């Protein structure tokens, strides 16, 4: 199986239609937008894994957006080794997506105005409650005073704070498994000479 069918042609890659179908089929479950992001840890190359929230696709691309704290350990891990893998399981439809690729870290120091605009759009696309967490103490460190956390306030119209960071994962390989149909598909991206992406898919043994 190569490329994609009519349903996939409307999207930028053949696996996108499978993922969109899974998102739609599990939309009634709040946790359907949560997935695990694994990176190469800083301690001797050991794996590091955590649950993050899907913040949508970057416009006109398959790149997956994730909001995070610039002070978290994952930022140093990604800067040291900019590759990661998403593991996304949909409990109602019994589908798993493992999506691996390059991760771009976009914080306030980025020299690219387009990336800074993406970061700002992601900031305002988050709830005010979600934005408040970036004003709290540094992740992973002891909290010296609980009252400091309770007294945090934010101006809803203010732009991104320094701690807010946007991660953008550019998929290079997608491993799809459907446990109901016992079907597994592997999609691999190849880049053409003109810079465009060509996705090849094949059925593999579950």
% of the chain residues with pLDDT over 90? 74
For the cut 80, the answer to whether the pLDDT of residue 29 exceeds it is yes
Domain count, the chain: 1
Residue 44 maps to which CATH number? 2.30.110.10
Inter-residue contact 164 to 106 (CB < 8 Å): no
Residue 105: which domain range?
6-119+165-204
In this structure, is residue 159 part of a structural domain? no
* DSSP SS3 for 8: helix
- 138-157 pLDDT, tens per residue? 888 787 766 555 667 788 99
In this structure, is residue 144 part of a structural domain? no
- Report, as an integer, the average pLDDT of 155-162: 93
- 169-184 pLDDT, tens per residue? 999 999 999 999 999 9
In this structure, is residue 115 part of a structural domain? yes
What residues contact residue 130 under an 8 Å CB cut-off, 6+ apart?
A: 67
Q: Which residues pair with 166 in a beta bridge?
A: 67, 106
Pairing of strands 83-90, 95-106: antiparallel
In this structure, is residue 90 part of a structural domain? yes
Rounded distance, CA 55 to CA 34, Å?
10
Look at residue 2 in the predicted model and tell me its pLDDT: 39
- 99-127 pLDDT, tens per residue? 999 999 999 999 999 999 999 999 999 99
In this structure, is residue 1 part of a structural domain? no
Look at residue 6 in the predicted model and tell me its pLDDT: 34
């Amino acid at each position: 199986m190569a490329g994609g069918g009519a349903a996939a042609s409307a999207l930028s890659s053949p696996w996108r239609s499978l993922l969109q179908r899974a998102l739609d089929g599990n939309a009634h479950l709040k946790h359907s937008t949560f997935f695990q992001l694994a990176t190469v840890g800083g301690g001797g190359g050991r794996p590091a894994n955590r649950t993050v929230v899907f913040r949508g696709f970057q416009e006109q691309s398959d790149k997956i957006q994730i909001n995070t704290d610039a002070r978290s350990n994952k930022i140093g891990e990604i800067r040291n080794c900019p590759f990661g893998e998403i593991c996304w399981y949909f409990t109602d439809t019994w589908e798993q997506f493992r999506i691996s690729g390059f991760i771009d870290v976009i914080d306030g120091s980025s020299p690219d105005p387009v990336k800074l605009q993406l970061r700002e759009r992601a900031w305002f696309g988050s709830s005010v409650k979600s934005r408040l967490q970036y004003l709290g103490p540094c992740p992973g460190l002891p909290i010296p005073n609980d009252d400091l956390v309770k007294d945090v306030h934010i101006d809803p119209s203010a732009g991104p704070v320094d701690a807010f960071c946007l991660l953008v994962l550019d998929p290079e390989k997608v491993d799809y498994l459907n446990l109901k149909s016992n079907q597994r598909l592997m999609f691999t991206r190849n880049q053409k000479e003109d810079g465009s992406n060509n996705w090849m898919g094949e059925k593999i043994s579950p």
